[in-house]
Amino acid sequence: MSPQNLLYTTLRATLAPLAGPSTPRAFSSSQRSLVSTRKLVAKRRKAANLALQASRVRKPDSIDPVLGRVQYKGEAPTNPWEGCRLQRVLLDYNAIAYSMPPDYTAGEQPRYLLPGVSKEDAELLFNAVPHASTELRYASGQGSEKTEQEQARQSEMMMRILDLRNASKDAINVLNRQRVIDEFGAGVDSGSSAVQGNPRDTSNKRALRLLVQERARHLKYWKRKQGEEAYEKLLADLGLQREAVEGELFIGF
């Protein structure tokens, strides 16, 4: 064997062990590359799915966070306030002040009375007291047809005085607050979230913003405590739409 061939054979035998690990290293690199590619594909697929879902979500054309209404493009305007439970509870000053008075001669009584006068009070003042007074006069020998007419006149006068038609806006607001407590707070719980979700003070923008934010907090608390079904029912009772209420903390004025 020539010296050149001997040198070549020796070098080849010496370097052979070093060349062994090259194949596993190449295999490991290809595995990592494959895993990275799969992760990238999965990430892109997830992003595409999220984009598709976002495109299917209807975006409202306008939102009124104060009235809790949402308007979608291409749809007829809706007013969830009309006919809702809260609207049926609240009394309108103009509707009461300019309504027709009762026909007292036919025995009609005022539909609404001043704040603080209950149905039991009305029954006592308009029926029991005049009747008892007339009976006492007859028992003492002073009763007559004129006595009955006088008692009827006094009852009518009392009805006119206590009729809510003669009340101020402030008095009607007081009565409205009590009616809301009676309806949504079982008559006693003025701190209930269902009651506190009904403020209607619009004196200035700052007060209005604070009230809207306060309403959102109370409704969020109600949802957390009472559950999704009770939350949806309360929104319907108050004439509010979910999309407007849940985004109403961001008011741009």
pLDDT, one tens digit per residue, over 81-94 is 788 888 888 989 99
3-state SS, residue 71: strand
104 located within any domain: no
137 located within any domain: no
Q: What is the pLDDT of residue 18?
A: 46
Better-scored residue on pLDDT, 49 or 164: 164
Dihedral angle sign, alpha carbons of residues 239, 244, 247, 250: negative
Identify the band that residue 167 occupies on the pLDDT scale cut at 50, 70 and 90.
Answer: confident
Domain count, the chain: 1
48 located within any domain: yes
Better-scored residue on pLDDT, 41 or 55: 41
203 located within any domain: no
Identify the band that residue 248 occupies on the pLDDT scale cut at 50, 70 and 90.
Answer: very low
Q: What is the pLDDT of residues 17-40, one digit of tens each?
A: 444 454 555 545 566 676 677 788
Q: What is the pLDDT of residues 102-151, one digit of tens each?
A: 888 888 888 888 888 888 888 877 777 676 666 666 666 665 667 667 77
Whether the predicted model's global pTM rises above the 0.95 cut: no
What are the CA-CA distances from residue 14 to residues 4, 10, 18, 26, 111 (Å)?
16, 6, 8, 22, 113
154 located within any domain: no
Q: What is the pLDDT of residues 148-159, one digit of tens each?
A: 677 778 888 888
36 located within any domain: yes
29 located within any domain: yes
Residues 71, 60 contacting (CB under 8 angstroms): yes
Q: What is the pLDDT of residue 201?
A: 44
112 located within any domain: no
Domain residues for the domain of 40 are 19-57
Q: At residue 163, what are phi and psi to the nearest 5 degrees? A: -65, 130
